[in-house]
Structure 1
Amino acid sequence: MKSMSTTSDQNNAAHATLLNNTVLHENDLIKKAKSQFSYHKDVLNTFESYRQCVLHNELITDVGRKFFLTELHNLHTNFKRVLNYAAEHNKFRDQNLPTIGPLIICGVARTGTTLLYNLLACDPNCRAPLFTDMMIDVVPPIARSDSIEQKRRIDILNSPSQETEQLTSNFIQIAACHPYFPNEEDCHILRQAGCFPLFTLISDNEDSDAESWIRNEMNKGYAYDYHETFVRMLNSVDAPKSHWLLKTPYHAFYLDELLRHYPNALLIMTHRSLDEVLPSWCSLASVAANGHFDAMNSISRDRITKRCYQSMDKSIECIMKFRTCQNGGVDQSRKNMFDITYDNVMKNPIGVVHQIYDYFNLQWSNEFEIAMNNWLLENPQGKHSRHKYTLSKFGFNQEDIQARYADYTKVFLSSTFSHNQSSSTN
């Protein structure tokens, strides 16, 4: 049997190796990339600040610490590889994106966006980023038709590691809240540029000012410079016949920046009663944190609830500022915007997609409709277990939430607004 001192020495050595292997640097970022993409320093500083949070938070387990540090290292490595590729192949940055769109789902989290996104991705004429595009060997970019290389990347994704095996039960719980699909949201692109709003959940600073960390996140407009570079890179090898399809709740924080980079964007905004959204979001965040912390004690749980609440406040504030006139009504001059409710998506998902295509004058096809029906048959609600949550678990009550977000509810969830949206597509 090994002595305790030997085991301790081995643990210390393993910890030192981990720290050395996950040190963030720019030694492999070529001079041309540094010159063309000046924001590389901002991204490095952001990732280093996240890294320090991971190192100093004593509640994170050894498995969780290794997971977070490795994740940060991989994101930054992908970022540098893309910048190097873009600097050496800069002609693709001058190539035009499709004249239509992109079609972008930018609603608040937990409002049916994942279901809608996967149905819209069934259109053979559109192109949504694959998870392997964004996370596995990001350069050189490859076409979806390259079956050999696609299989190799999928095999890498599915190959187990010691850390993923230790977190398997946690991943299963996350899948019940938010299933994984081949077409994933483009937050994975933004994360490579250090735009990762809820990473502050791991901060060791209990009293971090809400306005400060949210403002810091919202000042990362350069993340959309990187986002556009990444999409153009994918477009250079596998452009869609019609339009790109994108989706992440992060976009709600950056709607003006989003349109600056994609002026032809067609925006879909999903809405749901926030007394259902908030506990669902807190539940997902809690489940995601479970495998990485010693225990989901009251401090951790309260921090998650607080951060989710703060983030929701800012998200709703950004949406209201972007969407409403001085009199508080919806700005009808925005013709590139289509609103839908969670209830309508769940009741008639293909019908809602049809409304979207009619509104934006996109081409419908029988092949598209058949693919959506097949997807729904293969992915029934509850396939990955049921996501259960309550208001009381996180200290919420319906009256407080309704009062807090009364203006948003009046504008986007009133019966009059829902009727107007239905009428606009008839």
Structure 2
Amino acid sequence: MEAVRLTDLAVPEFSSDVTAIFEVMGTMAADLRLDSDQLHAMASEQTGLTDFGPRDYTDRLGVLLAALREVEDVTPAGLLNLHTQLLQMLKNRLLLTDLLARHPEIRDVDLLPPVVIAGLPRTGTTHLHNLLSAGPTFRSLPYWESVEPFPVAAERDHVEPRRERTGQAVWFADEAMPHFKRMHEMTTDHVHEEIQLLANDFSTMFYETIAEVPAWRDHYLACDQTPHYAHLRVQLAALQHLRGGRRWLLKSPQHLEQLPVLADVFPGAAVVVTHRDPVSVVVSMATMVVYSARMHRSPVPVERLGRYWADRIALMLDALVRDRDVLDPSSSLDVRFDEFMADDLGTAEGVYELAGEPVTDEARAALRGYLDNHQRDRHGRIDYRAEDVGLDVDDLRERFAAYTARFL
């Protein structure tokens, strides 16, 4: 299948059906504001709850909202998109607080040390995450559960309403971004990152992936993330209480710059760090973020976003070079992309060994079954070019020389 080169990154082009839906979304956004009071009031109205838990997050939310209000050329549909995501995060806080009040024993759950995949996008993390999740050994987070982790009162005995709502959003994203699946497949039940849960405490780099918010980035990087990872741990215990599971399998690029925090909050975690040529990673990551920006703004500042993500990934990899040795060698592993692609089953079995988990016949059959049905590039490929996102390959190679010398 021929690779697709994206030619409408700056001024997105949509089908007539998608344009019509965007217009309806725009009318729905007429009275919405990126305003804390409005968001809190709507969250309480839609859940019937008023206790958001500790309110230490309100200052962080204020910084975030101010940064979002500075984003240029946000479309009316984009405002609805951003507002809806923030509203859901506040609803998640209300629902978690209510769940903990009804089941205080959740706080006493002793989670097993998780298996954590820490790597940049485009380094094989998604494939490894899904492969390991295919077996019965680990508890992972389907996309619908990451978006709506805790049910409202009327839906406590059923997950389908949450799945259906997420499915509708996934369907529209596929229509509006028809080539996104070539970069990163997303389905309702697709295994997803816990960075979505970190967002419920309003301190994470997640927000950088949905909007251009340098002020938020600076605030996030200046703050100790330990309490927010601790909040993540509580959410994982709550999800285990609701839907079971024995040992969590986690994955997020954010962990690369938070390894000391990760090791402190999740002692004994088995950590897999993935690596790939950073030039390829930066170009494809920047392209993916630029392409997805069409969901909330037009025109899209392609070159500025490209530079932003080259700088951002440099910060992350510098942190990795600095902090990699905080991880216990007996419970951490470096995986290079080319080696993983050459032997993905062997790599998965190596992670099982690292975690001290047996590869049972059932687990091996599940791993093989996943590989048989998930061939690489089955949705097609993107023709990634540095110049399409305002980047220079030689400059990138020089910038990432220290990382490359150590890990590749």
Q: How does 1:221-370 map to 2 (within 5 A)?
A: 221-241=226-246, 243-296=247-300, 300-324=301-325, 334-370=329-365
- Name the stretch that deviates more: 378-387 or 307-316: 378-387
Q: Give the aligned residue type for 1:323.
A: R
TM-score, reference length from structure 1: 0.78
Q: Aligned residue for 1:65?
A: 79
Percentage of identical aligned residues: 20
Residues 131 and 160 (structure 1), Cα distance of their counterparts in 2 relative to 1, 3 Å cut? closer
Q: Aligned residue for 2:20?
A: none
Q: Give the aligned residue type for 1:282.
A: A
Give unmatched runs, 5+ long, in structure 2: 1-23
Judge conservation of contact 1:282–1:305 (CA < 8 Å) in 2: yes
What is the distance in 1 between the residues matched to 2:121 and 2:274? Answer: 9
Deviation at 1:202, TM superposition (A): 7.0
Q: Aligned residue for 1:419?
A: none
2:249 aligns to what SS in structure 1?
strand
Q: Aligned residue for 1:6?
A: none
Q: Aligned residue for 1:18?
A: 32
Q: Aligned residue for 2:99?
A: 85
- Name the stretch that deviates more: 51-60 or 352-361: 51-60
Judge conservation of contact 1:30–1:84 (CA < 8 Å) in 2: no
1:51 paired with 2:65, answer yes
Deviation at 1:214, TM superposition (A): 5.2
1:263 aligns to what SS in structure 2?
coil
**Deviation >4 Å, runs of 4+:** 10-16, 26-31, 200-205, 208-211
Residues 168 and 239 (structure 1), Cα distance of their counterparts in 2 relative to 1, 3 Å cut? closer
- Name the stretch that deviates more: 86-95 or 62-71: 86-95
What is the distance in 2 between the residues matched to 1:356 and 1:247? Answer: 13
2:377 aligns to what SS in structure 1?
coil
Q: Give the aligned residue type for 2:258.
A: Y
Partner deviation per Cα, 1:307-341 (whole Å, 9 max, x = no partner): 212221221122111124xxxxxx79532111101
What is the distance in 2 between the residues matched to 1:123 and 1:150? Answer: 22
Q: Aligned residue for 1:397?
A: 392
1:24 aligns to what SS in structure 2?
helix
Deviation at 1:266, TM superposition (A): 0.4
What is the distance in 2 between the residues matched to 1:97 and 1:200? Answer: 29
What is the distance in 1 between the residues matched to 2:207 and 2:114? Answer: 27
What is the distance in 2 between the residues matched to 1:198 and 1:189? Answer: 10
Q: Aligned residue for 1:170?
A: 176
Residues 203 and 333 (structure 1), Cα distance of their counterparts in 2 relative to 1, 3 Å cut? closer
What is the distance in 2 between the residues matched to 1:364 and 1:15? Answer: 51
Q: Aligned residue for 1:197?
A: 205
Judge conservation of contact 2:88–2:148 (CA < 8 Å) in 1: no
1:149 paired with 2:149, answer no
Q: Give the aligned residue type for 1:82.
A: L
Question: Out of 41, 45, 68, which is 2:56 matched to?
Answer: 41
1:175 aligns to what SS in structure 2?
helix
Q: Give the aligned residue type for 1:275.
A: V
Total equivalences in the alignment? 375
Judge conservation of contact 1:170–1:288 (CA < 8 Å) in 2: no
Deviation at 1:211, TM superposition (A): 7.6
Deviation at 1:343, TM superposition (A): 0.8
Give unmatched runs, 5+ long, in structure 1: 1-9, 325-330, 414-426
Partner deviation per Cα, 1:181-207 (whole Å, 9 max, x = no partner): 4221111111111134253477688xx
